[in-house]
Structure 1
Amino acid sequence: MIIAGILFLAGLLIGLSGGGYPAIVTTSFLATVAIFSAWLIRDELQFFSVFIWLGYLFALQSGFVLGGYLSVPKDDG
């Protein structure tokens, strides 16, 4: 749960900074490599780990979408 929160904040910062799609794709790839590497080293990779990985990616992507939404200037017209 803590990892998902950290990934959400990372996605939020990428969205707010205007990093764009290359930044979020790179971050998603690096997070995937890090997570699966840790699971393989610790011998914890199971079928259920795929669902945890998807949750982590959803947290990262939702933070990115929220950051992108918040970075759009308001139309006061």
Structure 2
Amino acid sequence: MIGLSHGYPAIVLASAIMTFVAFPLWLVRGELGLFSILVWIGYLFALQSGFMLGTYLGMSNDES
């Protein structure tokens, strides 16, 4: 839950690192295809949802 303790630069950095590691790995192993692209999109969605959940949990419940 990156959003609980860090801001937007952390999620951008995590997404970029994940992208720059996964794509060359898939290219070297010869596994880059439509399924790999869909897995990559799933990874990004999981990162984003964790960020959103952490941000939500970090918000104050004292709203009037």
Unaligned runs of 5+ in 2: none
Runs of 4+ aligned structure 1 residues displaced above 4 Å come to none
Unaligned runs of 5+ in 1: 1-11
**Partner residue of 2:38?**
51
Provide the secondary structure at the position in 2 that maps to 1:74: coil
1:1-77 superposed matches below 5 A: 12=1, 14-17=2-5, 19-75=6-62
Shift of 1:51: 0.9
Structure with higher Rg: it is: 2
Corresponding residue pairs, total = 64
Cα-Cα RMSD: 1.3
The one-letter amino acid of 2:61's match is K
Q: How big is each residue's C-alpha offset from its partner over 1:15-70, in whole Å with a ceiling of 9 and x where there is no partner?
A: 110x1111111110000111112111111101221111100000000000000000
Alignment identity in percent? 56
> Taking structure 1 as the reference length, what is the TM-score of the superposition?
0.76
> Taking structure 2 as the reference length, what is the TM-score of the superposition?
0.90
Change (3 A) 1:21 1:76: closer
